[in-house]
Amino acid sequence: MNNDIEHGRLGQSFDDFLAEQGARESTTETAIKRVIAFQLAAAMAVERISKAELARRLETSRSQVDRLLDPDNDGVTLGALSRAAHAVGRSLRLELS
């Protein structure tokens, strides 16, 4: 039995696979939204900010905050994410690559 590990490419990258399937853009958008929702929830925990308190700071309802923090809700605007970030003492930073 040969225990040597062969280094190199085994096949296409996952990014290439998603592009081939026509799902790269939507998958990337979903991943970004999930990361931002996770980061907002983490910042809330660090700052000990409840959903009700965040809603008060944003002058909105608790159900709107639930939608904002829902990683599967892709209907959240950049403006809403930016306001939420500021409400927890953070800023939203976007960049093109």
DSSP code string of the chain: ---PPPPS--S--HHHHHHHHT-HHHHHHHHHHHHHHHHHHHHHHHHT--HHHHHHHHTS-HHHHHHHH-TT-----HHHHHHHHHHTT--------
Report pLDDT digits (tens) over 31-63: 888 899 999 999 999 999 999 999 999 999 999
Task: Say how many residues make up the chain.
Answer: 97
Whether the pLDDT of residue 89 is over 80: the answer is yes
Quote the pLDDT of residue 2.
63
- Sequence spans of domains, the chain: 14-87
Whether the pLDDT of residue 82 is over 90: the answer is yes
